[in-house]
Amino acid sequence: MQPITQSRSRIASIDILRGIIMVIMALDHVRDYFTIARFDPTDLSQTTPAMFFTRWITHICAPTFMFLAGTGSFLYGAKRTKPELSRFLFTRGLFLVILEFTLVTLALQFNFSFNLLIALVFWSIGMSMIFLAAMIWLPNKILLAVSLLMILLHNTTDNISPESFGSFSWLWNVLHVRGFIPFSETSGLVIGYPLIPWIGVIGAGYAFGQCFLWEPKKRSRFFVQLGLTLIGLFILVRGLNVYGDPMPWTTQKSSLYTLLSFLDTAKYPPSLSFLLMTIGPAILLLGLLENAKGSFANFFSVYGKVPLFYFLLHFYLIHLISIFAGMAQGFKATDFLHISDSYPKEYGFGLPGVYLFWALIVLLLYYPCKWYGNLKARSKNPLLSYI
């Protein structure tokens, strides 16, 4: 077994994979703010294969980021006591929730009214970290069992509606069903990422972190085998079409569109099929990236070492550039001071334009991320561990 020491405080494959995920994630957000298409890219009655896969490839991001948040928490705790780790998880989780409803909300809307709060990725990771702060006190086998049961069984509750809880309907929105929780006639909270099964995903990632105590060759081989196994389970579970996703796949007008239906699994909340489809390839990539070196590894590591910094910066940059793009198309800047769903219907670009803006934004973020990564590496300020 290989202990985690200060000199090995970062696992290169994790940074590379996280960087790849962050770059792919930006594609989805750029599409939101720059596309001229005004339909759900997974709506098979309207979409094209290119549009579908532009959205589908980004599905890997949220589950991988949540899973690696659990893995990173284990590695962070390997050099600390349980009370120190629990305190860090609670405070970092709370910090992320606060960021969600302040800086992230501002980045999405570019106005200071804060009438509409949106609980998205930071909310789900932050709240999951708060739960993980308590879960780490469980024996590792029990923590893993609880996490896996949450992932495996939560689809049994798909037919339970928030209304069945009466005045506590908001609680089911928070836990399992997306929805709007009104505060007043003009304000409220949109729950975009219910917490179940995300809490299970971060818990499974935490338990998975123990594998990084193994020798590199052993863990790399195991990751490849586990990743392929999960992909195989996805094909089996989805193919049976009995359990694992609230949206059964159906035969479509062509074999290609039937494949799209097969791949179109539920993300909100993530179904069992969705998580097998995304976490399987992520773990496979971890195994394949174990010995990655050179310019490829260095490029993506720049983003992967500073994911929170990148996340915040990329949303502001995307929204800002979309305003200038809109003005170039003849619109007023004020037409873009809200979420992208409310952008003018005539505004936007086709997929080639979306991909060009994606490449531009990722490259513009490279040197700021490299600078901040070097700053974190040099500094001993504990506050930098939060960003």
Query: Tens digit of pLDDT for each residue in 117-133?
Result: 999 999 999 999 999 99
| Any domain includes 203 | yes
> Band of the pLDDT at 8, cuts 50, 70, 90?
very low
Site of tokens 């094209």:
48
| Any domain includes 292 | yes
For the cut 80, the answer to whether the pLDDT of residue 383 exceeds it is: no
| Among 81, 28, 34, CA closest to 52 | 28
Mean pLDDT along residues 16-23:
98
Overall number of domains in the chain: 1
Q: What is the pLDDT of residue 364?
A: 98
Domain with 144, as residue range(s), is: 6-386
By three-state DSSP, how is residue 136 classified?
coil
Rounded distance between C-alpha atoms, residue 207 and residue 217, angstroms: 19
| Among 348, 353, 316, CA closest to 335 | 348
For the cut 90, the answer to whether the pLDDT of residue 193 exceeds it is: yes
For the cut 90, the answer to whether the pLDDT of residue 387 exceeds it is: no
pLDDT digits (tens, 9 = 90+) for 196-219: 999 999 999 999 999 999 999 999
The angle at the Cα of 363, spanning 358 to 367, to the nearest 5 degrees, equals 145
pLDDT digits (tens, 9 = 90+) for 323-337: 999 999 999 999 999
Rounded distance between C-alpha atoms, residue 351 and residue 48, angstroms: 11
Measured CA to CA in angstroms, residue 308 lies from 121, 122, 174 at distances of 11, 9, 23
Rounded distance between C-alpha atoms, residue 89 and residue 338, angstroms: 32
Q: What is the pLDDT of residue 9?
A: 54
Written as one letter, the residue type at 123 is W
| Any domain includes 48 | yes
Q: Which helix (H) or strand (E) holds 68?
A: helix 61-77
Percent of the chain whose predicted confidence (pLDDT) is above 90: 92
| Any domain includes 252 | yes
Question: 347-377 b/e with 16+ CB inside 10 Å = b?
Answer: bbbebeebbebbeebbeebeebbbebbeeee
pTM attached to this predicted model: 0.95
Q: What is the pLDDT of residue 242?
A: 97
**Tokens linked to 190:** 């949109």
Q: Which DSSP letter does residue 242 get? A: S
Spatial contact of 320 and 34, defined as CB atoms under 8 Å apart: no
- The CA-based dihedral angle spanning residues 257, 263, 269, 273, taken in that order and rounded to the nearest 10 degrees: 140
| Average pLDDT along the chain | 95
For the cut 70, the answer to whether the pLDDT of residue 94 exceeds it is: yes
For the cut 90, the answer to whether the pLDDT of residue 222 exceeds it is: yes
Q: Bridge partners of 189?
A: 117, 181
Dihedrals φ, ψ of 180, to 5°? -110, 130
For the cut 60, the answer to whether the pLDDT of residue 5 exceeds it is: no
pLDDT digits (tens, 9 = 90+) for 151-182: 999 999 999 999 999 999 999 999 999 999 99
Rounded distance between C-alpha atoms, residue 211 and residue 2, angstroms: 10
| Any domain includes 282 | yes
| Any domain includes 1 | no
> Of the given ranges (88-92, 250-254, 304-308, 375-379), which has the lowest mean pLDDT?
375-379
For the cut 50, the answer to whether the pLDDT of residue 45 exceeds it is: yes
Q: What is the pLDDT of residue 111?
A: 87
For the cut 90, the answer to whether the pLDDT of residue 7 exceeds it is: no
For the cut 60, the answer to whether the pLDDT of residue 261 exceeds it is: yes
> Band of the pLDDT at 6, cuts 50, 70, 90?
very low
Q: What is the pLDDT of residue 2?
A: 43
| Among 363, 368, 313, 260, CA closest to 42 | 260
pLDDT digits (tens, 9 = 90+) for 288-318: 999 999 999 999 999 999 999 999 999 999 9
